[in-house]
Chain A
Amino acid sequence: MKKNGVNMIKISAKNVDVFYGKKQALFNINLDIEENQVTALIGPSGCGKSTFLRCLNRMNDVIDICKVQGEIVINDFNINDKGCDVVRLREKIGMVFQKPNPFPKTLYENISYGPSIHGMAQSKQEMDEIVEISLKKAALWEEVKDRLHEPGTGLSGGQQQRLCIARAISVQPEVILMDEPCSALDPIATAQIEELIDELKKEHTIIIVTHSMAQAARVSQRTGFFHLGELIEHGLTDKIFKNPDNTKTQDYITGRFG
Chain B
Amino acid sequence: MNKNKEKLLAKRYSSEKRFQFLGKSAIFMALLFLAFFIFKIFSTGYTAFQKTWLIVPVNFDVETMYLDANPSKEDLEDADYFEISLQSMFNLDKNANEKQQNELKKMVSYFFEREIKQELINDPSLLGKTKEIYLTASDDLDQVFKGNYPRDLPEKQRRVTDYQLKIFDQLVEQGKVESKFNLSFFTYPDSREAELAGIASSFMGSIFSILVCLAIAFPVAVLAAIYLEEFAPKNRFTDFIEVNINNLAAVPSIVFGLLGLGILLAVFQLPRSTPLVGGITLSLMTLPTIIIACRASLKAVPPSIREAALAMGASRMQTTMHHTVPLSMPGTLSGTIIGLAQALGETAPLILIGMVAFVNTIPGSPMDPAASLPVQIYIWAESAERGFVEKVSACIMVLLGFLIIMNLFAQIIRHKFEKKWS
Contacts from A to B (Cβ < 8 Å): 57, 59, 62, 64, 87-91, 94-95, 97, 99-104, 113-114, 117-118, 153, 157, 160, 164, 167-168, 171
Contacts A59-B310, A157-B422 given; 8 further ones with Cβ under 8 A? A62-B307, A64-B234, A87-B315, A101-B304, A114-B312, A153-B421, A171-B312, A171-B313
Is the pair B421, A104 in contact by a Cβ cutoff of 8 Å?
yes
Is the pair A101, B308 in contact by a Cβ cutoff of 8 Å?
yes
Q: How far is the CA of A102 from the CA of B322 in the complex (A)?
A: 14
Question: Which chain A residue shows the least CB distance to B233?
Answer: A64
Is the pair A59, B421 in contact by a Cβ cutoff of 8 Å?
no
Complex interface: chain A residues within 8 A of B312 (CB): 90, 94, 113-114, 117, 167-168, 171
Task: Report if B211 contacts A (CB, 8 A).
Answer: no
Contacts from B to A (Cβ < 8 Å): 233-234, 302, 304-315, 318, 322-323, 327, 419-422
Q: How far is the CA of A99 from the CA of B421 in the complex (A)?
A: 12
Is the pair A102, B313 in contact by a Cβ cutoff of 8 Å?
no
Best-buried of B302, B309, B310, B419 by chain A (most CB within 10 Å): B310
Q: How far is the CA of A94 from the CA of B420 in the complex (A)?
A: 25
Output the least CB separation between B37 and chain A (Å).
42
8 closest cross-chain pairs (CB), A and B: A101-B304, A95-B311, A90-B313, A91-B313, A114-B312, A104-B419, A101-B308, A104-B421
With A104-B419, A160-B422 in contact, is A114–B305 under 8 Å at CB?
no
Complex interface: chain A residues within 8 A of B422 (CB): 100, 102, 153, 157, 160
Is the pair B327, A101 in contact by a Cβ cutoff of 8 Å?
no
Q: How far is the CA of A117 from the CA of B305 in the complex (A)?
A: 16
Is the pair A62, B310 in contact by a Cβ cutoff of 8 Å?
yes
Output the least CB separation between B133 and chain A (Å).
65
With A103-B309, A117-B312 in contact, is A97–B304 under 8 Å at CB?
yes
Is the pair A101, B313 in contact by a Cβ cutoff of 8 Å?
no
Q: How far is the CA of A114 from the CA of B311 in the complex (A)?
A: 10
Q: How far is the CA of A88 from the CA of B318 in the complex (A)?
A: 14
Complex interface: chain B residues within 8 A of A103 (CB): 305, 308-309, 323
Is the pair A153, B313 in contact by a Cβ cutoff of 8 Å?
no
With A64-B234, A153-B421, A153-B422 in contact, is A101–B307 under 8 Å at CB?
yes
Is the pair A97, B315 in contact by a Cβ cutoff of 8 Å?
no
Question: Which chain A residue shows the least CB distance to B421?
Answer: A104
Best-buried of B307, B311, B422 by chain A (most CB within 10 Å): B311
Complex interface: chain B residues within 8 A of A171 (CB): 312-313
Which of B306, B310, B318, B420 is the one whose CB lies under 8 Å from A153? B420
> 17 pairs across A/B with beta carbons < 8 Å?
A57-B311, A62-B306, A87-B314, A90-B313, A97-B307, A100-B422, A103-B305, A104-B327, A114-B312, A117-B312, A117-B313, A117-B318, A153-B422, A160-B422, A167-B312, A168-B311, A168-B312
Q: How far is the CA of A215 from the CA of B305 in the complex (A)?
A: 27
Which of B307, B323, B420 is the one whose CB lies under 8 Å from A59? B307
Is the pair A59, B311 in contact by a Cβ cutoff of 8 Å?
yes
Q: How far is the CA of A43 from the CA of B313 in the complex (A)?
A: 28
Q: How far is the CA of A64 from the CA of B233 in the complex (A)?
A: 8
Q: How far is the CA of A95 from the CA of B315 in the complex (A)?
A: 15
Question: Which chain A residue shows the least CB distance to B315?
Answer: A87
Q: How far is the CA of A91 from the CA of B305 in the complex (A)?
A: 17
Complex interface: chain B residues within 8 A of A100 (CB): 422
Complex interface: chain B residues within 8 A of A101 (CB): 302, 304-305, 307-308
Is the pair A104, B308 in contact by a Cβ cutoff of 8 Å?
no
Q: How far is the CA of A117 from the CA of B311 in the complex (A)?
A: 12
Output the least CB separation between A146 and chain B (Å).
21
Complex interface: chain A residues within 8 A of B234 (CB): 64
Is the pair A102, B314 in contact by a Cβ cutoff of 8 Å?
no
Complex interface: chain A residues within 8 A of B309 (CB): 103, 113
Output the least CB separation between B329 and chain A (Å).
12
With A104-B327, A104-B419 in contact, is A117–B307 under 8 Å at CB?
no
Q: How far is the CA of A100 from the CA of B422 in the complex (A)?
A: 8
Complex interface: chain B residues within 8 A of A64 (CB): 233-234
Q: How far is the CA of A30 from the CA of B36 in the complex (A)?
A: 76
With A153-B421, A160-B422 in contact, is A114–B304 under 8 Å at CB?
no
Is the pair B311, A90 in contact by a Cβ cutoff of 8 Å?
yes
Q: How far is the CA of A114 from the CA of B314 in the complex (A)?
A: 8
Question: Which chain A residue shows the least CB distance to B304?
Answer: A101
Q: How far is the CA of A168 from the CA of B309 in the complex (A)?
A: 10
Output the least CB separation between A139 and chain B (Å).
20
Question: Which chain A residue shows the least CB distance to B327?
Answer: A104
With A104-B327, A104-B419 in contact, is A99–B304 under 8 Å at CB?
yes
With A101-B305, A104-B421 in contact, is A94–B314 under 8 Å at CB?
no
